[in-house]
Amino acid sequence: MRSRKIPLVVAAAASASMLLASCGGGGEDDGATTGTLDFYTNKAAWEPDFDELNAASESRADITLNTTGYSDAEQYDAFVRQSFRTDKSPGLFTWQTGPSLAELVEEDLIAETTDIWTKAVDSGWVSTDLRETYTYDGKQYCVPMNIAYWVMYYNKNIFAEQGIEEPTTWAELNSIAERLTGAGITPYYQTSTLFTFQWFQQMVAGTDPELYEGLSTGEVKYTDPRIVDIMETWLDQEEAGWFSDAGSTTDPAVGLKQGDYAMINFGSFFNGSLDGAGMVSGEDYDMFVIPATNPDLEQTPVAVESGPLCVAENSSQKTLGLTYSEWWMSPEAQTAWSEARGDVAFNPKATVADPMLEELGTTVASDDYQLYDRYYEATPTPILTVALEQFGAFIANPGDPMPFLETIQAEADDYWAEQE
């Protein structure tokens, strides 16, 4: 009996190893430059915009995107990571810049795009500053899908009713918040999940951009007295009732529309959501660049995020993905994208459909402003995860900031120790 079991065990082991073997490696690049390109994104809400763009890409580049949108970012990240081990790695996919992209580049999983960037920079399609974000060891990887500046959106009706003008200094912004609170209106939106970092980011970078930079390189500790001071200010503001109910499940755009709060600190992609909620750009809502906390700064720091479009190195559609990436950088593609999505264009030669966004693009390009990487991209992932949770916990139950900062710093200590 016993000996007869052996063939079964051997068969099971053999099929298991075959299954594992078939999971490894990637596909062979088929070399096609036209056709249907499988595209994966965690921006499921933008799927109609990508479909709209197909009209332009079909006629100009003879490539059609077949978009699969994920609405859960975590699930999406796991899917992309796992796909590199199969022959289904995507010909085109969206990702995050910063440490998440660096990790993929280090493992040689991403196709190089240096030639595309060289052509784009030479043609004046993209700034050299933006190229830095996509450069690893002197080579470029991926192309920018979008660019967003983090600004303050406000409900124009509330500002008009209260006789409030856009602030030009931090002190003015604070007095607006006080005035709104006095009138029974909550000044700012906040949430305790995911987007918990922006006020921290705003106040740290607005106080001292080098301090902000130090957090992302590990040179500054989260328990640094200057950071603690900033958190104390945030706590005072929380206690003064400047922020909305963190547990609210109302969509942020709808909340701004119905006046649950007067202002919301968000990326310039938020125009699309506000338009979707039925507000009219320039009539019902407007935006301003948030003045620096520290009035002595010569340039006003503005957070910028740029999401990449990447091609997997071992994808069977590598050539097709790179061909599309090259077209994507062109003014015609960016003009079509701006029309479809209603977003800021990274290509200065593209025409931006929404005048408010066009103005923002010109404003922040001037010497009075300094762009810095958004906290989400600037912070290494393990520290970011803990920080987002801790800011969320602080927002839900504002109190002594030290325990929150110590928890983040403990993770940061572990992370930087591993990097040495």
Per rule CB under 8 A, is residue 16 in the interface with other proteins? yes
Q: Classify residue 71 by its DSSP letter.
A: S
**Cα→Cα distances 173→40, 120, 178, 204, Å:** 40, 39, 9, 16
Q: Beta 35-41 vs 63-69: how paired, if at all?
A: parallel
Using CB under 8 A as the binding rule, the residues of this chain from 180 to 219 that contact other proteins are 192-193
Interface with other proteins (CB under 8 A), residue from 15, 33, 168, 169: 15
Cβ atoms of 391 and 204 closer than 8 Å: no
Q: Rounded to whole angstroms, how far apart are CA atoms 332 and 311? A: 21
Q: Choose between 1 and 298: whose C-beta lies nearer to other proteins.
A: 1
Q: Which of 186, 238, 257 is nearest to 391 (CA)?
A: 238
Interface with other proteins (CB under 8 A), residue from 245, 275, 286, 332: 245
Q: Which of 411, 280, 321, 281 is nearest to 113 (CA)?
A: 321
Q: Choose between 192 and 317: whose C-beta lies nearer to other proteins.
A: 192
If DSSP codes are grouped into helix, strand and coil, which group holds residue 194?
A: coil
Q: Rounded to whole angstroms, how far apart are CA atoms 351 and 236? A: 43
Shortest distance in whole angstroms from residue 154 CB to other proteins: 21
Shortest distance in whole angstroms from residue 382 CB to other proteins: 5
Here's the x/- map for other proteins, 334-373, by CB under 8 A: it reads as ----------------------------------------
Find the part of the chain contacting other proteins (CB under 8 A) among 61-69, 204-212, 218-226, 384-392: 384-392
Cβ atoms of 145 and 172 closer than 8 Å: no
Q: Choose between 13 and 171: whose C-beta lies nearer to other proteins.
A: 13
If DSSP codes are grouped into helix, strand and coil, which group holds residue 312?
A: strand
The amino acid occupying position 23 is C
Interface with other proteins (CB under 8 A), residue from 10, 355, 397, 400: 397
Cβ atoms of 196 and 184 closer than 8 Å: no
Using CB under 8 A as the binding rule, the residues of this chain from 109 to 128 that contact other proteins are 109
Shortest distance in whole angstroms from residue 145 CB to other proteins: 21
Shortest distance in whole angstroms from residue 393 CB to other proteins: 3
CA–CA–CA angle 342, 345, 348 (5° rounding): 140
Q: Which two tokens stand for residue 18?
A: 């075959």
Using CB under 8 A as the binding rule, the residues of this chain from 61 to 100 that contact other proteins are 74-75, 77-78, 81-82, 84
Q: Which two tokens stand for residue 183?
A: 């009138």
Interface with other proteins (CB under 8 A), residue from 201, 314, 315, 390: 390
Q: Rounded to whole angstroms, how far apart are CA atoms 407 and 158? A: 39
Using CB under 8 A as the binding rule, the residues of this chain from 246 to 305 that contact other proteins are 246-250
Q: Choose between 72 and 359: whose C-beta lies nearer to other proteins.
A: 72
Residues contributing to the site for other proteins (CB under 8 A): 1, 8, 11-12, 15-16, 19-20, 74-75, 77-78, 81-82, 84, 103-104, 107, 109, 192-193, 245-250, 381-382, 385, 389-390, 392-393, 395-397
